[in-house]
Structure 1
């Protein structure tokens, strides 16, 4: 097993580019990661990595070994999944990611219950509103609010989520309430944007009489944390574009008000996204089934409170 551990570390180093990132992904120290790569190089009698101050890149031998090593690890995962399917006792570790709002409200709170049902399955959860590279970062399943663009991944749709534009009464009293989408731009409204490398929220797509239209809105500040945007909106700093379930309590108590209700943002799809190779993994299917039911039930409960 030690040899496979060394192979796994090497693969993650190549994919993530440095020992620190690989160590964090595997929950080991950079020093341990470095020693395992050195043990592998000693075993193979070849240098696998070119080392610079900040980055590691594979040598020619390293590239050849990396391609073979990926197949070895995939074969091991497939074999483990097959044994679990036959025994009826799924076990192992699942690496999961989700956006902050969905993750904090629904996914994270469900993991202890899932663990109680399946005590031999461990879940490693990472929350981020940035676009996560599932393949590169070793993620087994990502719960996403968005559009699938990578054809090498599989998607299981869970539900469509309504989005709304909202602002606080204080902001609307100070700046006036827009009546048409164009007012967001012509009246210079402060639109609070979710931004990070690769983000697509530089514009908002709203539903109009002519169909969906993109509006290049602007604002005085932005962030890569959707909950920070909500906090700014509550404090009267601008307008947000959010899934309704995330801000429904504030809409219900009047802290926020839906604006442009006749021109809502296009809905966003909630889905589980995972590499094709994980399709038959029993433990992954159990987690996705569990979280899909939980999301449908909890989001439904949140939204039904307004009816």
Structure 2
């Protein structure tokens, strides 16, 4: 493996916090990734990482070396992107992230078709309902539901994604149907939560404008599909994107409640670090995905 490839391994190990995760991201075994780090340390005669059974951290020189190595990798990727502008066949890896349900239903199916037309492109798709640090995780394109707040990222809106409050007929029969937003206080609200999650309230769209309703319930999870399954089995009321539960509503498995004061629609779009926009393959996939996804909403 070349010195440059060892740099890539070191950068990803630092960013992901472990040799196993860094190696996996680059499709290397932990042993191979560890050897690449050792090769760098032997080359310079310094320790770059402190390793314990529980934690991996950079040494002082390791942190400084990471900053320079990251710039080298960024410069190389920008150079590769510049060269590829003169090629009719895009090459290389695109790293994507998306929320779990959205990624499974809408993003993952787009990738094979794109690769048929562009066989030189590879994808690394990471799905999570948690917030992802796009810059630190070296993400090229992040599909996103909500309000973007990071000005260092380029936001491209695709559509407004309506949300609905849903529950099963059995749950409503046993617990009653809420008629006004205040009735939610007497119901088991199924919540999407994870460390540092903001969801301890639901924002409803009322005649007087958006209104925050404090909600609570016995169950919470960091997986949106789990919320839908709980709602389907009669556990409570869930706040879900309409496209995710449309089939269940049509089939009568779920019932929309408080339809006159629904949750505020989420913005659906994609986020890109500004420098990634220089990469033609990222632009091509973003254009393709936006075009296809607009058909859904």
TM-score > 0.5 by shorter chain: yes
| Greater displacement, 168-177 / 47-56 | 47-56
Give the 3-state SS of the residue equivalent to 2:256 in structure 1.
Answer: strand
Of 263, 266, 269, which aligns to 2:267? 269
Aligned to 2:105: 105
Partner of 2:165: 165
The reply to whether residue 180 of structure 1 matches residue 180 of structure 2 is yes
State the shift of 1:10 in Å: 0.9
Any idea what the Cα deviations from partners look like across 1:73-122, whole Å, max 9, x if unmatched?
01100011011101222100011111111111111111110110111001
Rounded Cα–Cα distance in structure 2 between residues aligned with 1:165 and 1:240: 6
Residue 56 (structure 1) aligns with? 56
Query: Structure 1 residues 113-122 or 95-104, which shifts more?
Result: 95-104
RMSD: 1.3
* 1:131-155 Cα shifts (integer Å, max 9, x gaps): 1222222222111111212222221
Secondary structure at 2:46's aligned position in 1? coil
CA apart distance, 1:71? 0.9
Structure 1 segments, 4+ long, off by >6 Å, are none
- Displacement of 1:65 in angstroms is 1.3
- Of the three residues 282, 292, 307, the one matched with 2:280 is 282
The alignment status of 1:239 with 2:244, answered yes or no, reads no
For residues 217-272 of structure 1, the C-alpha deviation after alignment (integer angstroms, 9 at most, x for no partner) is 11111111111111111111111111111111111121111111111111101111
Tell me if structure 2 keeps the 8 A contact 1:154–1:276.
yes
Which has the larger displacement, 77-86 or 44-53? 44-53
By how many angstroms is 1:179 displaced?
0.9
Q: In the alignment, which residue of structure 2 is the partner of 1:210?
A: 208
Q: TM-score, length-normalised on structure 1?
A: 0.93
Q: How many residues are treated as equivalent by the alignment?
A: 297
The alignment status of 1:248 with 2:246, answered yes or no, reads yes
Gaps of 5+ in 2: none
Query: Which secondary structure does the structure 2 equivalent of 1:50 belong to?
Result: strand
Residues 106, 294 of structure 1: 8 Å contact kept: no
SS across alignment from 2:158: strand
In the other structure, the counterpart of 1:303 is none
> For residue 94 of structure 2, what is the aligned residue in structure 1?
94
Write the distance in 1 (CA, Å) between the matches of 2:289 and 2:199.
26
Instruction: Give the match's secondary structure for 2:95.
Output: strand
- 2:18 & 2:125 partners in 1: Cα distance? 21
Where does residue 293 of structure 1 map in the other structure? 291
How far the C-alpha of 1:280 sits from its partner, in A, is 1.0
The TM-score normalised by the length of structure 2 is 0.96
Instruction: Tell me the residue number matched to 1:118.
Output: 118
Q: CA deviation at 1:45?
A: 2.4
Query: Distance in 2 between the 1:245 and 1:85 partners?
Result: 36
Alpha-carbon distance between aligned partners in 2 of 1:2 and 1:155, rounded to the nearest angstrom = 36
Aligned to 2:195: 197
Note the alpha carbon deviations across 1:192-231, whole angstroms, 9 max, x for none.
Answer: 1111112222210111233211111111111111111111
Query: Counterparts of 1:268 and 1:11 in 2: how far apart (Å)?
Result: 34
Counterpart in the other structure of 1:29 = 29
Offset at 1:125?
1.1
Counterpart-to-counterpart distance in 1, 2:286 and 2:129: 20
Does the 8 Å CA contact 1:212/1:266 hold for their aligned counterparts?
yes
